[in-house]
Structure 1
Amino acid sequence: MQRVFEFRSFLVFLIFVSLLFFALLMPFLGAIFWAVALAIVFAPVQNFFSRHIKWKNTATLCTLFCCTMIVVLPFLFIISSVIAECVKIYASLSSGTINPAYYFDEIQKAYPFIQDIFNQLNLDPAQVKEKISSFALRVSGFVAQQTVHLGQGTLSFIMQVAIMLYVAFYIMRDSKMLVMKLHKALPLGYKREQLFFAKFTEVTRATIKGSLIVAIVQGTLGGLVFYFLGVSSALLWGVVMTLFSLIPMVGASIVWLPVCIYFFAVGAVLKGFILLFFGAVVIGLMDNILRPVLVGRDTKLPDYLILLSTLGGFVIYGMNGFVVGPLIATLFIASWEIFSLEFNYDDTDESENEN
């Protein structure tokens, strides 16, 4: 009896201390999560250097250097450029240099059926135009305010990046030992733990390689075609297309298609056809071409689950949600698959055995 009491007391104490430790790590959970994600994605690179360099620390530093050059530095450059573009656009909207009402008038002139739609819906085009202008100003103001706050928090952001790289170094170097310790600590059973670890690795790698890289390629191509066609703030629109490409069934077309319609409206037919062809064929096919190559045999959720888990992840976890959402969905499915296999039985088979 005393032994049971001691065990339960220790269990309560263990949970209490674990919660306290989790609270300590709360400010750095994003950095820790991305450190784990980078360690998983760059595991083949780490294995390559480990085979050719006998010093473990040196091999890990080489992997971390590749990670920094391929991921971290380009990301920091894009973030700084986007901040500058957002502030510039807000200033142009505030001063009237960019006037959304002008673009609305141009589209309305080119497509007369829009006026018929307004008449059927009892809408005043002047009020719609005013609402569009005020909405554009509010949205750009909000984005500019957020980017300025991000710029003011540069020191905190750099610290998060430094913590991410620091943690990633130890996870890359000691990954086998950490996995062994997790196996010993978790009370789920070795086979179940292996399955969960495999699912975690597969989904993280598949989401980052199959979703993020494809979205970056689509956003980059969209930004480049915008730049060559003379669309202002091409870099910013490229980043916006990247973000929308992360959302299934939405994609980059939500950005480039309205611009294509505007080109046709103002008589820039050649630009319109170039953008339409490039957007529908080149950008649109990137997902079908790149995803099978990058993901390979990694786990792929059904499209409807990807959509729901990605959107839910964005709402709850912010930008981290595009990985966290599908990961939670996959672990949920894996858990119920294990449950159905181990704890359910077929009534028909049992009745046949009885007969």
Structure 2
Amino acid sequence: MVSLRQPRDIPQILLSVVFLALIITACLWIIQPFILGFAWAGTIVIATWPVLLRLQRLLFGRRSLAVLVMTLLLFLLFVIPVALLVNSLVDGSGPLIHDITTGSFTLPDFAWLNSIPFIGAKLYGAWHSLLDMGGTAIMAKVRPYIGATTTWFVGQAAHIGRFLLHCGLMLLFSALLYWRGEKVAYGIRYFATRLAGRRGDAAVLLAGQAIRAVALGVVVTALVQAVLGGFGLAISGVPYATLLTVVMVFTCLVQLGPLPVLIPSIIWLYWTGDTTWGTVLLVWSCVVGTMDNVIRPVLIRMGADLPMILILSGVIGGLVAFGMIGLFIGPVLLAVSWRLYDAWVHEVPPPPDNPDQVLAVLEESDDESEQAAK
């Protein structure tokens, strides 16, 4: 009996693939305005899910009350401060950009260097020698780049309407995810299992660990350090404290810490003669600058340990790609990808430490092949 195989219907397969691609593209096009807000909300919900469960137990097991409290906390402790910081960044940096772009911004005289014992006069003379040798010309060449860079950073924060829209979407999606978090998580795991079996389910769990590690160990630590540093600046009377707090958020996210902002502020206070508040800010900076060594390890243990180069690349790349929201989404995406890659690589035994062993095995197999051929 001859078994006749049905020929493959190539046009049908091709048209089916094209139709599915069109459907997926259309769906992504429709939900494109909500993707960033949903990703932001998902990151926050995954990081704060244990807090929701604890609140639910305290509120007599009522999920609705716990969701209401968590949404209010996000609005009061996250959305309002970020919106105020962005507004202050735009408003407070206007005079600085005007001075830079109009050419009225000049290098400082640093006359206070003369008050430093022993080396003050030498430092003052060296600084003015640099100015006489072309410091003004150097400033004239650098000023356009400084102005363009500053304008770009402010332009990223100037999209206040779009940013606040994403904040509103983040609150809405966070409330929905808090309300039906278990079902959403199970649906994602089910879809991943359908795609790749148990490996897909494990990938989803690893991604959750990476998200929690970034959100808790990096973002929360940066926000705590920046807010405390900004509090010290405001109490000490440093001008543009809110604007400097925004800068500290960025420096903390890129793992430089708050000291690049706090140290010049301390120098400025001593320079203006306010030695009392300069000393207070110096002591406060020592506390805030070392706080991450205590907070970050505790929070990262709740998620997964990640290379700092991923965090740095994610923060800068996310800022360029997505704007202000990219400060949070960028490191999360790279962290998830790294965790999945690391798990996939470690599914096989590691190679021998001694490369000579590998070469010896290859030579033995080549000799055996030659003997078999003879």
Is 1:191 matched with 2:198? yes
Count of residues in correspondence between the two structures: 345
User: Does the C-alpha gap of structure 1 residues 338 and 144 become closer, same or farther in structure 2, counting only changes over 3 Å?
Assistant: closer
C-alpha deviation, 1:333, in angstroms? 3.1
C-alpha deviation, 1:323, in angstroms? 3.5
- Among residues 34, 43, 47, which one is paired with 2:40 in the alignment? 34
The equivalent residue for 1:245 is 252
Worse-superposed segment, 181-190 or 215-224: 181-190
Is 1:69 matched with 2:76? yes
C-alpha distance in structure 1 between counterparts of 2:79 and 2:303, whole Å: 24
The equivalent residue for 1:127 is 137
The equivalent residue for 1:45 is 51
The equivalent residue for 1:175 is 181
Structure 2 counterparts to residues 228-267 of structure 1, below 5 A: 228-248=235-255, 250-265=256-271
User: Does the C-alpha gap of structure 1 residues 23 and 258 become closer, same or farther in structure 2, counting only changes over 3 Å?
Assistant: same
Q: Deviations over 1:198-217 (max 9, x none)?
A: 22222222222222222122
The equivalent residue for 1:222 is 229
Is 1:339 matched with 2:344? yes
Is 1:20 matched with 2:29? no
Residue 302 of structure 2: SS of its match in structure 1? coil
The equivalent residue for 1:309 is 314
Q: List alignment gaps of at least 5 residues for structure 1.
A: none
Task: Read off the aligned partner of 2:126 and give its amino acid letter.
Answer: D
C-alpha distance in structure 1 between counterparts of 2:314 and 2:209, whole Å: 16
User: Does the C-alpha gap of structure 1 residues 268 and 157 become closer, same or farther in structure 2, counting only changes over 3 Å?
Assistant: closer
Q: Deviations over 1:18-47 (max 9, x none)?
A: 122112222222211112122212312332
The equivalent residue for 1:150 is 159
C-alpha deviation, 1:244, in angstroms? 1.0
Is 1:212 matched with 2:219? yes
TM-score, normalised relative to structure 2: 0.74
Structure 2 counterparts to residues 68-87 of structure 1, below 5 A: 68-87=75-94
The 8 Å contact of residues 53 and 59 in structure 1, kept in 2 or not, is answered as no
The 8 Å contact of residues 106 and 265 in structure 1, kept in 2 or not, is answered as no
C-alpha distance in structure 1 between counterparts of 2:82 and 2:295, whole Å: 21
Identity %: 21
Which structure has the greater CA radius of gyration? 2
User: Does the C-alpha gap of structure 1 residues 126 and 81 become closer, same or farther in structure 2, counting only changes over 3 Å?
Assistant: closer
Q: Deviations over 1:83-142 (max 9, x none)?
A: 43334655687899xx75374444666654365377589842333455677776666666
The 8 Å contact of residues 210 and 339 in structure 2, kept in 1 or not, is answered as no
TM-score, normalised relative to structure 1: 0.77
Worse-superposed segment, 195-204 or 228-237: 195-204
Across the aligned residues of Structure 1 and Structure 2, the Cα RMSD in angstroms comes to 4.0
C-alpha distance in structure 2 between counterparts of 1:306 and 1:24, whole Å: 30
Task: Read off the aligned partner of 2:312 and give its amino acid letter.
Answer: L
C-alpha distance in structure 2 between counterparts of 1:95 and 1:341, whole Å: 57
